[in-house]
A and B are shown apart, each in its own frame.
Chain A
Amino acid sequence: SQQGEEDPQALSIQEGENATMNCSYKTSINNLQWYRQNSGRGLVHLILIRSNEREKHSGRLRVTLDTSKKSSSLLITASRAADTASYFCATPASGGSYIPTFGRGTSLIVHP
């Protein structure tokens, strides 16, 4: 079964706005990753956050992790049309595994 689930399933915003996506998971993890997938392409790794970290930044991306709530969020600030893609969170499959399992993703559309 899937470990992480993204919310919302779909998000449509205007260029310049911020986009926030959430991920909830079920069991304890030692890390959580976010990936992006453009239509018809493979996944691209965005950011990895470890269980002892609460927040991490990379350019216009900000990821938070709340282990007590078993949730993470991905914030894209000042979105661009090129950010249009599906975004997936990935968590280790089960105790000690480092093979990531993926949710169904959030489909983000940024209108120019």
Chain B
Amino acid sequence: NAGVMQNPRHLVRRRGQEARLRCSPMKGHSHVYWYRQLPEEGLKFMVYLQKENIIDESGMPKERFSAEFPKEGPSILRIQQVVRGDSAAYFCASSPGTVETQYFGPGTRLLVL
């Protein structure tokens, strides 16, 4: 049973470009969470999704950021017109339902030049 998969593992973008980060949850998990981690900091919650629904996006910046979890395929975190401050590690986690324990992917490290 494969764990949570994220790709790409590393992504380099120039300012103004778009970044697309993908997350495939563990088999049987229908709940996906996205977090951002800056160097030497803890994880900051961004958004919580279930299939085809955004449940909680209270941690998501109002502009340039969007997330989806379609009926088929991975969850996507999209950052438009990236700026240097978007450079961070982005982690995805999944759970089988509304349970406390989450299973994390290896993260995508985004570097904006």
Residues of A within 8 A of B (CB): 2, 31, 33, 35, 40-45, 48, 88, 92-93, 98-105
Contact = CB atoms under 8 A, between A and B. Distances in A.
B40 interface: yes
A89 B33 CA distance: 17
A68 B109 CA distance: 39
Report whether over half of chain A's contact residues are helix, strand or loop; otherwise say mixed.
strand
Contacts, number: 49
Contacts of B33: 99
Given A41-B107, A42-B107, A43-B91, A98 B42 contact: no
Contact of B45 (A40, A44, A88, A99): A99
Contact of B101 (A33, A40, A105): A33
Max count, chain A CB within 10 A of own CB: residue among B56, B98, B104: B104
Contacts of B93: 42-43
Contacts of A93: 45
Interface string B81-113: 000000000010100001111111111000000
Nearest to A2: B42
A105 to B, nearest CB: 6
A31 B100 contact: yes
Given A88-B43, A105-B42, A43 B101 contact: no
B48 interface: yes
Interface of B: 4, 33, 35, 40-45, 48, 56, 91, 93, 98-107
Across the A-B interface, the 7 shortest Cβ-Cβ residue pairs: A42-B104, A102-B42, A43-B104, A102-B43, A104-B42, A42-B106, A103-B42
A41 B102 CA distance: 15
Max count, chain A CB within 10 A of own CB: residue among B40, B41, B100: B100
A91 to B, nearest CB: 10
Max count, chain B CB within 10 A of own CB: residue among A33, A41, A43: A43
A33 B93 CA distance: 15
A93 B42 CA distance: 14
